[in-house]
Amino acid sequence: MISDITIGQFMPGKSFIHKLDPRMKIILMTAIIIFIFLAKNLFSMGAMVAFVVLAILFSRIPLKMYFKGLKAIWFLVFFTAALNMLYIKGEHVVFQYKALTIYEEALWQSGFIAIRLVMIVVISSMLTYTTSPTDLTAAIERLLAPLKLFRLPVHELAMMMTIALRFIPTLLEETEKIMNAQKARGADLESGGVIKRAKALIPILIPLFISSFRRAFELAIAMDCRCYTGGKGRTRLNVLKYRFRDIFAFLLIGGLCYGIIYLNTLAPSLVR
Amino acid sequence: MALIETHDLRFVYGKGTPFEKVALDGVNISIEQGEFIGVIGHTGSGKSTLVQLLNGLFRPESGKIMLDGRDIWEKPKKIRNVRFEVGLVFQYPEYQLFEETVYKDIAFGPTNKGIKDKDELDRIIRTSAEFAGLKETLLEKSPFDLSGGEKRRAAIAGVIAMQPKVLILDEPTAGLDPKGRDRILDRISAYRQKTGSTVLLVSHSMEDIARVADRVLVMNHGKVEMFDETKNIFKHGQRLAEIGLRVPQVTQVFLELKRLGADVRTDVYTMDFAKGVAMDFLRGDKKEENNSENSSTDTKQETTEGGEAE
């Protein structure tokens, strides 16, 4: 079902991760994602997996939600892992059948890639699950603030992001409604080849586009009515402030990153 | 044999999630060929869910829907055929328009149904447009250039064009001005008289329902609260109020008159009928000076209003 899509969904809560400063969260999540790629042997990868599992527990978001987020990428994970398994050449042959040869190196590589992909999705869903869209964009705005020097409209970009995130669920709902309306007129969305299916999308996409434009106009007027004039001179009700727990989290992740590098030296790399 | 029958129909939203909600439970209704049924209920009472089930868009959790004596989910792969038999006009149907011209948009349904013959298609499109009260000149226009009321009628024409046995309309008059509203209701009544098809009208407006429906289905919390002839339904003013509904305004006026002591009938629920009753009352009743003076001003207002509405 279309309502299974969980990107950008925020689940209010009071966990340690929920309470972290959103700027810190973005920085730390980025660091984690980089280090997911740097973990190259079983020790460092093990540490990373253990950390992510702990983070999941600490976020107090139901496991089900993470699985829902992963549902959309199972195919991608499987596909990249399979491709890697078939194409990477190495020295130790594990399995051979006619032209098909699978090397030990390929097994490690595809296993690592699968785990990395899953962890990246988990970590980035954790960011959106635990951070309200307003916090998220406020943080992005602050983090990108230095780019103002290069005349980049940072506030406007952040506002666009907030609006985009805000309208994901609305658009999904609308898509479902239009799909049902066209189905009621006998639209056949489930059968036929690629071209027929692509054609069947037209009656859904056109109304969707039109209503998006309509919504955009309405929103623009509503913003105008409240005298929105862009970022200049705009102040915030809740000014972001680093607290003790943010420093603690920073040190924790710093330790983790150092640990990954150290563990990498303990055993030879299994992947490139 | 009834045209539509449901047996212990049950439907649950978000099965197996924390948001699970029973939308319909134990719904047993039976609708005869050619009937005009009004469906009312407060927001979230399950009326929209019910009509989408009848149309085969949702699959019931348990229970059966019989159309012409056959279970519509007997062959799940053929469910599309049910949608041609039971035409459903959604809320705010104007948002489903997508083609370049109104003509092509109306053709969408019948083409999906498999009507290929150009002349037949043309005939169907033109008659449906006429049923929906669309002028010929509008057919070649882009649907996005029409007015709100016209768009809606174009969307209704698009469903009528599938020539369904049953036409279901989910709040077809929502958000329209009184004129657009009257026009749509008149068109629907005319369509039903000419084709003899069965019509289900979901509405929040008691006035609309009172005007056109033979029988009224009252939904409350996913269950059938009442299902009876229109005049019998509006006798239960108090019960209707309890479940977040009311009787038509004109009926309220007569109930109030009765309470004030005027000897009038209270089974009045349309303007036309109210006019007659009020006139009879004014001619006949001269006994109680005080009361009739009060009530005559009230009824006069009502009748003038009624006159304007026509």
B192 and B47 in a common domain: yes
DSSP calls for B114-162: T---HHHHHHHHHHHHHHTT--GGGGGS-GGGS-HHHHHHHHHHHHHTT
pLDDT digit string, tens, across residues A26-66 = 999 999 999 999 988 899 999 999 999 999 998 888 888 88
Q: Which residue of A has its CA nearest to B51?
A: A184
Q: Which of B234, B258, B285 is the last residue of a domain?
A: B234
Confidence of residue B289 (pLDDT cuts 50, 70, 90): very low
Q: How many angstroms away from the CA of A67 is the closest CA of chain B? A: 13
Please state the separation of Cα B273 from the chain's center in Å: 20
Return the bridge partners of B201, or none: B38, B169
B296 and B177 in a common domain: no
The structure tokens listed for B261 are 């002591």
Domain that holds residue B144: 4-234
B139 and B60 in a common domain: yes
B102 and B20 in a common domain: yes
The pairs formed by B294-299 with CB atoms below 8 angstroms and a separation of 24 or more are B294/B260, B295/B257, B295/B260, B295/B262, B295/B264, B298/B253, B298/B256, B298/B257, B299/B253, B299/B257, B299/B274
Task: Answer whether B162 sits within 8 Å of A185, measured CB to CB.
Answer: yes
Q: A185, A201, A213: which to substitute to probe chain B, counting the most B Cβ within 10 Å?
A: A185
- What is the total count of domains within chain B? 2
The answer to whether residue A235 scores a pLDDT higher than 50 is yes
- Mean pLDDT of all residues belonging to chain B: 85
The pTM assigned to this predicted structure is 0.73
Distance CA B118, CA B66 (A): 33
Three-state DSSP class for A155?
helix
Q: Where are the domains of chain A?
A: 2-266
Q: Which residue of B has its CA nearest to A187?
A: B112
In a domain, B267, yes or no: yes
Interface of A with B in 164-183 (CB under 8 A): 177-178, 180-183
B214 and B83 in a common domain: yes
The answer to whether residue A2 scores a pLDDT higher than 60 is no
Q: Give the per-residue pLDDT at B297.
A: 43
- Do the beta carbons of residue A153 and residue A143 sit within 8 Å? no
B86 versus A191: which is more confidently predicted? Answer: B86
In a domain, B243, yes or no: no
Which secondary structure element, helix H or strand E, spans residue B232, and what is its range? helix B230-233
B146 and B20 in a common domain: yes
B281 and B226 in a common domain: no
The answer to whether residue A244 scores a pLDDT higher than 60 is yes
Q: Does A203 touch chain B (CB under 8 A)?
A: yes
Q: Give the per-residue pLDDT at B293.
A: 43
For residue B98, the chain A residues in CB contact (below 8 A) are: 202-203, 206-207
Please state the separation of Cα A160 from the chain's center in Å: 18
**Residue B103 maps to which CATH number?**
3.40.50.300
Local structure of residue A131 (DSSP, 8 states) = S
Average pLDDT in the B210-234 region? 90
In a domain, B240, yes or no: no
Q: How many angstroms away from the CA of B91 is the closest CA of chain A? A: 9
Distance CA A63, CA A53 (A): 10
Kindly provide the ipTM of the predicted complex, given to two decimals: 0.80
Q: Which of B234, B257, B284 is the last residue of a domain?
A: B234
Task: Answer whether A185 sits within 8 Å of B90, measured CB to CB.
Answer: no
B84 and B180 in a common domain: yes
B97 and B11 in a common domain: yes
The answer to whether residue A86 scores a pLDDT higher than 90 is no
- Do the beta carbons of residue A161 and residue A66 sit within 8 Å? no
Q: Give the per-residue pLDDT at B199.
A: 94
Q: Which of B204, B234, B264 is the last residue of a domain?
A: B234
In a domain, B242, yes or no: no
B187 and B275 in a common domain: no
Task: Express as a percent the part of chain B with pLDDT over 70.
Answer: 90
pLDDT digit string, tens, across residues B112-131 = 998 889 999 999 999 999 99
Q: B12, B17, B90, B98: which to substitute to probe chain A, counting the most A Cβ within 10 Å?
A: B98
In a domain, B175, yes or no: yes
